[in-house]
Amino acid sequence: MAQIQFSRGIDEEVIPEVRLTRSRSGGSGTATFIFTNPKALSNNSTEDITGMYMIDEEGEIVTREVKGRFVNGKPEALEAVYLMKSEEQWDRFMRFMQRYAQEHDLGFNKS
C-alpha cells in the first residue's frame, strides 16, 4: 500500500498535484507536491507536520521540505519538495509514484 503522510501514522487523503523536473544528464531531479486543503491542515488535526513521508512496500522516502500556503491568513495548501541527487533516488521515487498513482487513481505519465 503506497501512502503519503505528514505526521507518522496518519495517511493524507488528499491526492496531490505533482510536478517533476529532471536534469538533462538524468542524474538529479525535483518532485514538487501540492496538496490543496489537505487533511493535515484541517481543524481536527492535532498532529504536527514533521515532513512528508512516502511509504510503500520498499520502505520510506522522506523530505523535510514542507511549507504551508496561506490565503487570507488561513492555511490552504501544503507544498512539499523532494530533491533526488542520483539515478538510484530517481528510480526509487518513480517506483513509489507508480504504486501511489495506481492505488489512488492519480493520472501519471512520463513526459
Domains of the chain, first to last:
3-104 (2.40.30.220)
Please give the grid coordinates belonging to residue 36. 490543496
* Main-chain dihedrals φ then ψ at residue 104, nearest 5 degrees: -115, 15
Tell me 27's DSSP state: S
Number of other CB atoms surrounding residue 86 within 10 Å: 12
Question: Looking at the DSSP assignment, which residues form a beta bridge with residue 77?
Answer: 36, 69
Position 5 pLDDT exceeds 70 = yes
More confident call, 46 vs 20: 20
Position 18 pLDDT exceeds 80 = yes
**Which pLDDT score, from 0 to 100, does residue 25 have?**
87
Please give the grid coordinates belonging to residue 58. 520498499
**Predicted TM-score of the model (pTM):** 0.89
Number of other CB atoms surrounding residue 64 within 10 Å: 10
Of the spans 43-52, 57-66, 68-77, which averages the highest pLDDT? 57-66
Position 107 pLDDT exceeds 80 = no
Q: Does residue 82 contact residue 62 with C-beta atoms inside 8 Å? A: no
Average pLDDT value over all residues in the chain: 91
The HSE-up count of residue 59 (CA atoms within 13 Å, CB side) is: 5
